Amino acid sequence: MANKPEKIVKTDEAWRAELSPEQFQILRKHGTERAFTGTHWDSHDDAKYVCAGCGNVLFSSDDKYDSGSGWPSFSQPTGAEAVETGADRSFGMERNEVHCSRCDGHLGHVFPDGPEPTGLRYCINSAAIDKKPK
């Protein structure tokens, strides 16, 4: 089993200086982008997807699929230590939030309506991830 990445802790001011306004709103303030507007929802390149806040490797194009939701969707993270999940009860809904295990940046949500073999759909904001060649 991989070791958990060392946590990165910064002030809002430090994050704001490093991230675009959209990235800050999503990663640090739990925002979301509108469906079908992000840069990665329709990307089909052979790539790895890393946290836009800290560079932690999160997802692979091998596990990316078109969910029809308008956000990049993955059936699983790159490993058990890449992301963490927790309850999100905002907006009168109960969802399972996904965040980076290294910097705690909000990435999106995970739903139990994905393809086999996991049955999961990690619905991720494009602004929360950067695409890197494998």
Boundaries of every domain in the chain: 12-133
Whole-number pLDDT of residue 1: 44
Q: Give the pLDDT confidence of 7-42 residue by residue, as tens digits.
A: 999 999 999 999 999 999 999 999 999 999 999 999
| Catalytic residue, candidates 51, 54, 103, 123 | 123
More confident residue, 47 or 95: 47
Cβ–Cβ under 8 Å, residues 80 and 65 = no
Domain 12-133 has CATH 1.10.150.530: no
What pTM value is reported for the model? Answer: 0.91
> 51 catalytic, yes or no?
no
